[in-house]
Structure 1
Amino acid sequence: MSPASTGASTVVGAASSVPAVDDSRMTPGGPGYRRMSFALFLAGVATFALLYSTQALLPLISGDFGVAASEASWTVAAATGGLALFVLPMSALSERYGRRTVMTASLAVAVTVGLLVPFAPSLGALVVLRAVQGAALAGLPASATAYLAEEVRPRALVTAIGLFVAGNSVGGMSGRVITGWVAQEWGWRVAVGVIGVLAVGCAIAFRLLLPAPQHFTAGSLRPRVLARTVREHLANPLLCRLYAIGALFMTVFGGVYTVVGYRLTEAPFSLPQGIVGSIFLVYLVGTVSASTAGRLVGRLGRRGALYLAAGTTATGLLLSLADTLPMVLLGLVLITAGFFAGHAVASSAVSRTATTGRAQASALYQSAYYIGSSTGSTVGAMAFHSGGWAGTVGVGVLAVLGVVTITVLGTRAARVAARRVPVAAH
């Protein structure tokens, strides 16, 4: 895939007498790469385990507080909404004080709040704590992708970000599976407490393992500079398309996994909470699809990979309409694989496209992404309340159609640009 199609810089290699700027960056098999990958993998585990710690427990939370699914879903939407709201300010802090510093502080606050969540006396208090936790976690996603863009060679960037996203999938899976079985025996409060303790361990290991940044240059915290950077990113059509794609993919994912617990605990399935939690083992599929996104882009190109991810997700949505458990599980597998592949492709494309203000570019993507999660959680639950599982699937299908439409528009725009700009002679 050409640099023009990815938005990547074409400066490297312009003059053979000048060393490439990324010579000292990390690469697979090189010094520090494994430590860095494992540290960010653990950060991803902690982020998703905390962020979605209540999602598999919503039926129990509904029963405890006597509320409907649409109300209980706010324990998820508040966390993702808090993250979406604060990710841009936190990215600005990472530009000034460093990626590792901000990620460490964010995890420290998030795990502290996570240990308080089990003691929430009411649904309102629980929602507030979850919003604070989401705001604290906002320092992780954009800072992590910016760290990788600065410290990893460009050719290895998709794979490196894929590993971070894979950590997200493992965190989401383990959090839901653990909470499901623990809650079945001791209730949802003990379950979220266990996740808080798990996240503490991940946070400590992350800080001990992550190598100190070697290519970070401190930026400015001046609001005018930040606003100018944000305007420049929002004026870039490719970045805006990637932001929208991330939001739409997450709308599907957020809606499906917020509601699926209600569906599986009701007839005709009537599964116990522990088994429902174990359903989230399908996240392992997301771990694989995210970590192999680099090879997928290498074979199909970025847009081809997005088409494949969207098609896989849509197929899964339609299969999940069946009233047999094997078909529902197959549908969830395809939805998960398509979502994580699409997310890894889109987020890595943002990091490659933005040559300046990478933290802000990644922050805008993460903001759109988690707005999509909040929207999916809320609208998906409302659709389930009014139209059952078919209503939630309908919301997901519309979001996938949006991904395909935006990708088609991007393909046409690239073709028009290619006709206008002559290919440079080499």
Structure 2
Amino acid sequence: MRLSRRYAKDSTPSIIRELSESELRTLFSNGPDHQHFLQEAYGYWFICECNLPVTIKRLRANNQYYLARVPGREEHESGCRFFSVFDELVDVQHQQRTANLNVFSFSRVSSDTPQHEPLQSTGRASKIARTDKLYALVAGLLETARCNEISLARPPSFSREASEIIHASSRYTLGSKSLKEYIFLGFGKLSQAKKLLASRERNWIGRHKPQALLLGHVESVSKDEDDWVIHVKENWDVKLNKKCLVTRLNGVFSLNKGPLLVAAIVSPSGKDEQGKTEFSITRCFVSPVVSSTGFMIIDSNLERIAAKIAIKCLLTNKSQGTLIKPLTPTFIEGVAVLPDFLISNQGETKALEVMGKWDDDIYQERKSRTVPLMRSLHGEVLMVGNHTSKNPEEYYKECLWLFNKELS
């Protein structure tokens, strides 16, 4: 049994070393040492006697590590020690991943926000990592509902995707309750969310406060003196509480230019004059979306342009391909690897990088580290915008040529 770096299919394994007898016993045990060993080896693969890789995955909800097959690789032989391990664990792991372990809870001030840090003191939305709790909930929910995939069979459709999000929410809990009971789509449902929480306030017993998740498309988000304002559409604004935490990813996009998707947590924000609990939006995550007819969130305006052109090529060419926007990174050797897009067509999947900051040295240095790791996962990494991202006409032409080629 060997420890290996990740490698592309049909490539030679990049062996680090042989596992010792002690490590083998720990690997196939069920005690705390097993978890510690998997945590240390996370990001690497094990190569078994039948020369097939085994990966390590982590459940975010309880931080537990487990062994898993590598997608797209052959089944292990019946005599392989991993064969029996997977045979025993497959049902348990399926239940773990799809049942009650997608657990989230939010207070007025998030537990993962330093209490001494004044919220929004800079007048800008706080930039967060993909490990942020609200982002993790939104990303997981959209991936479960497959709203990050577009194909000829699954074109952008607000009604279908909304229905799939509601269905996927049954796999998540919010403050110990089923998320499906406390999810609302569209800012027109904000009053309904507040009323539901008020009517069920007594049902929330223990450390979890009443809370709901609202997902809504908006035109823009801005700061009006000390207050954040969500501009849902013309003549429809939602003013946020001064203490509301507004967050976004570190992408190249403006909160003033939509369409945007806002994920808002509705929870207790104080008491009225009669001493009754008041409910309002206490936390928001804002992300650009490809269009207001779907829920594919992206990281930049350049990605939006690329995705729109890809969708046009998919539909015009009647391609059997699929455009995928990955939302959660894969960790390889401790490095987070997350392609901007994946293009799946004719049994082959390629990564696509939108090179928006090609003149930024730090950006280029990061890409020089992550792109080779992407190749180890997907074989080929396509790039667009490396020299055209600042010329809209040339960037459009390059995207159109690439997607017509890859999605024919």
Query: TM range, normalised to the smaller chain?
Result: under 0.3
TM-score for both structures, normalised by structure 1: 0.26
Which structure carries more strand by proportion?
A: 2
Larger Rg: 2
Greater RCO structure (CA 8 Å; 6+ sep): 1
TM-score for both structures, normalised by structure 2: 0.27
